[in-house]
Structures are given as C-alpha cells and as structure tokens.
C-alpha cells in the first residue's frame, strides 16, 4: 500500500526566517498484518515535490500549498518476502487502475517553540487517490536540518473497500495473513537552511 508529504510556519511568538531549499523527498509506508501485527515496510522511489513558492525565506510560503505526486508503481518493498508482497501491491493498484497518488499541504499548525529543541507541529494534508480526496493529519519534526512527518491513512476510504477485500482474499489464497487498511505513511527530506528565530516585537 502507501505512503506521502511536508512543512512549517511562523509561531505565535516566533517568526521563522530561512534560506530554504529542500532536497529529495523520501515517502515511506508501513502496512500491518493481522493478527500478528507484523509490518511490511517500503518506500516510493519516484516522488515529485513542488513547493508552493520558490525563492522564499518563509516556511509557510514554501510549504503551505506544496504538492506531491507519487508514482504508485515505483513502490519498493523492504521485507524478506518482498517479491510476494510486491505482487500483492501490484494487484491492488492494477485493480484500482491508478498509477499515481497526489498530496497537498493545506494547513500547518506549529507547536510552541522551545529553545534548543526540535521544532514540532502538525500538517493537514489532502491525499488524492482513486478519484477521492481525504484529509489526514501528520505530525512533523524538524531536527538537524531534516524534516520528518508521520500519519495514518485508511486505504479503504478511497473507494477501494472492495479492492482491499480482494487483496485480502488473495492473501488468504496464498495462506498469508490479512493486512489492515490503516497504513502508516511518512516522508522525510533534508532542508538546506539556517533557521533564525526572531522574538515577537
């Protein structure tokens, strides 16, 4: 299944100013088997990230409205049985007749800034899949010039409940465990920036 997104903003008492430039974005996913709760981890190798605005010193201007386009066929499984797991994923996407997953950051809510601590907060992200748009919250953290974000999406909510059931039927046919529709998604990227925190005047 899948994974995706990113950003940061001005805090109530703090303004963030930076020469901002993001590098390659890594989008990951983690699917859980039932009832063992073992996980299938993977990542998408083809991700196009488009910032909301280039050449800006503002996190909000750079990330709020930024979008991601993910090639669903570029998913790579990182497990001992990756060949069989990849076949199941291919079965899922082929039956949904989709090749891409879209995402857009629509809101940013930073936590209060604590000096010398990682910057944290929440992103509100719209995910586009199978002709359906669903919004999910993602917790983000910025530390050592790296931005990471994590969230959970219900795959069956994207007009894919029947297809998801077919996937689990296929897994049962192969005498494997079923998988949960709740998939952990995340993304990370290095940010070339020097953060400057200006106190509220």
The C-alpha atoms of residue 87 and residue 39 are separated, in whole angstroms, by 16
Helix ranges, the chain (H) = 59-63, 82-96, 161-173
Whole-number pLDDT of residue 133: 95
All domains of the chain, ordered by start, with CATH?
14-196 (2.40.128.110)
Q: DSSP secondary structure string, 58-89?
A: -HHHHHTT-EEEEEGGGEEE-STTHHHHHHHH
pLDDT, block means (10 residues), the chain with 201 residues: 32 36 81 82 90 80 91 79 59 66 95 88 94 95 90 88 76 78 91 44 35
Whole-number pLDDT of residue 123: 97
Whole-number pLDDT of residue 90: 63
Whole-number pLDDT of residue 9: 25
Backbone angles phi, psi at 42, to 5 degrees: -165, -175
Longest pairwise C-alpha distance within the chain = 65
CB 46 within 8 A of CB 56: no
Q: Could you count the other beta carbons within 10 Å of the beta carbon of residue 80? A: 8
**Angle formed at CA 111 by CA 106 and CA 114, multiple of 5 degrees:** 145
Whole-number pLDDT of residue 35: 83
The C-alpha atoms of residue 79 and residue 70 are separated, in whole angstroms, by 21
The C-alpha atoms of residue 58 and residue 62 are separated, in whole angstroms, by 6
Q: What crossing angle do the helices spanning 161-173 and 82-96 adopt, rounded to 10°?
A: 150
């Amino acid at each position: 299944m899948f994974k995706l997104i990113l950003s940061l903003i001005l805090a109530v008492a703090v303004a963030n100013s930076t020469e901002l430039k993001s590098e390659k974005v890594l989008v990951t996913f983690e699917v859980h088997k039932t009832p063992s709760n073992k996980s299938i981890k993977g990542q998408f190798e083809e991700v196009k990230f488009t910032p909301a605005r280039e050449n800006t010193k503002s996190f909000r201007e750079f990330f709020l409205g930024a979008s991601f386009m993910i090639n669903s066929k570029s998913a790579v499984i990182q497990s001992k049985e990756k060949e069989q797991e990849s076949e199941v994923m291919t079965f899922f996407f082929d039956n949904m007749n989709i090749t891409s997953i879209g995402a857009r950051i629509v809101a940013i809510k930073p936590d209060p800034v604590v000096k010398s601590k990682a910057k944290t907060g929440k992103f509100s992200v719209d995910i586009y899949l199978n002709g359906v748009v669903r919004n999910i919250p993602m917790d983000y953290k910025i530390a050592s010039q790296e931005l990471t974000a994590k969230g959970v999406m219900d795959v069956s909510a994207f007009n894919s409940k029947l297809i998801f059931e077919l996937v689990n039927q296929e897994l049962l046919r192969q005498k494997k465990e079923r998988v949960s529709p709740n998939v952990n998604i995340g993304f990370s990227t290095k940010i070339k920036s020097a953060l400057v925190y200006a106190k509220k005047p």
